[in-house]
Structure formats: structure tokens, C-alpha cells
Amino acid sequence: MTDTPNLEWDHWQLAWRSEPPAVAAAPTRTAELQRRLRRHRRLAWAYTVFDVLAANALFAIAAYFAYRAPTLPVLVWSISVFVFTAIALGGAIWSRRDALSASADSTADFVAALRLRLDRRERVPRFVLRLAAAEMAFGLAFYAIWSPEWLGRAARIYGAIALVLAAWWRWYRGRLGQERAQLDALCREPAPPDAPGPPGDGGGGSGPSRAQVDL
């Protein structure tokens, strides 16, 4: 190795360390970080409590109907609401479980985990949507057999819900796709200089001269 690259590197290192950018008025201390962590934890707990309360409300509604009219169809409907809500609650808590953890994995593992998380964020709502579709199919069958006079109205309500869910799913998948594209863009390793570039790119990355910078 010649001296030139080392001199250049030394020069860069000197520049790199020459001026710490925007130094804070006071260095961050453990006590301050502990306070912030407690605030984050309180917020996470508040979300979890809200989820549990909402789930309990749904449980109570299902239990009320099951208690009031303990017929087979109502019992089946109540149980389906119980199961659906329990799955949704479990999913909500599970997906928040690592919100407070900080990854100390290598960058490659971390990026792989980010991709996996994106896949899960797609799989979980897809599963919930399938459950909702099953619930609607069950509801329509329920009305067709036991309350045919309500079937038309139920079909319109379910249809409206299905349209809203389909629109949301389309938007949500689009957003996930955007996040995937962004992650790919962030982690894209540039091609070696001698690799052929896209048409019109000129190949090796050398192009028209820009400004000369004297560092």
C-alpha cells in the first residue's frame, strides 16, 4: 500500500473528527433516558389497556346476547365473536411486544428482521380479513336459515363493510409495498464500478464533471 491513500484517509479522518456537529447543551444522562423510557412504557401500557377494554366490551356484548337468547345460532355467533376478538387482541399485543426493544443484531440480520416484520404486517391483517369474510359468510347463512326477512338488509350491510375493508386493504398493501421499496432502496449495495450499468448510464459511474472539492 502506498502512502498516498493513507494520507488521504488521515485527511478524511481529521476532517471527520474536526467539528462535532450540533453538540447538545448538556450530554444525555442515564436519569434522563430512564425518564423517557418510563414514559414510553406508560404509553405502551395505555395502548394495551385500551385494547383489553375494547375486547372486554365485545366479550360483554356477545355474552349479553348469549345470555338473553341462548339458542344455537346465537350461541354459535357469540362464540365466533369471542374467538375473533381473542385472536385480534392477541395479535395486537403480540405485534406490540417488541416495540420497546432495541435491536443489537448485525445490520444484515436487522434488515432481514425488518423484511420479516413487513411480511407479518401483511399476513396478520390478511388473516383477520379472512376471519371477517368467514364471519360474514356465517352471518349470511345465519340470516338465510333463521331470519330470511333480514337477509337483504344484512347482505347490504355486509357488502358495505366488505367494500370498506377491501378499500382499506388496497391502501394498506400499497403502503407496505412503499415501505418495502424504501427498505430495498436504503439497503441497495451499489454495483461494482466495472459492472455494466443500465442503458445510457455510461457503466462505471464516471460521468460529466461536477464541482471540484478541495478537502
Rounded Cα distance between 12 and 24, Å, is 24
Going from the C-alpha of 203 to that of each of 176, 189, 199, 200, 209, the distances in angstroms are 32, 16, 8, 8, 15
> Which residue in this structure is represented by grid cell 399476513?
123
Q: Which of 2, 30, 196, 198 binds another protein (CB under 8 A)?
A: 30
- Of the candidate spans 25-33, 43-51, 56-64, 128-136, the one that interacts with another protein by CB under 8 A turns out to be 25-33
Residue closer to another protein (CB basis): 32 or 86: 32
Question: How many residues does the structure list for the chain?
Answer: 215
Q: Is residue 20 involved in binding another protein (CB under 8 A)?
A: yes
Q: Which of 107, 148, 149, 199 binds another protein (CB under 8 A)?
A: 107
Q: What is the DSSP letter of 98?
A: T
Q: How far is the CB of 181 from another protein (least distance, A)?
A: 6
Q: How far is the CB of 67 from another protein (least distance, A)?
A: 45
Closest CA to 151 of 137, 132, 165, 166: 137
Q: How far is the CB of 23 from another protein (least distance, A)?
A: 7
CA dihedral over 36, 110, 105, 191, signed as positive or negative: negative
The C-alpha angle with vertex 66 and arms to 86 and 149, in degrees rounded to 5, equals 105
Q: Is residue 72 involved in binding another protein (CB under 8 A)?
A: no
Where along the sequence are the contacts to another protein (CB under 8 A)? 5, 8-9, 12-24, 27-31, 33-34, 36-37, 100-111, 114, 178-179, 181-183, 185-190, 192-193, 205-215
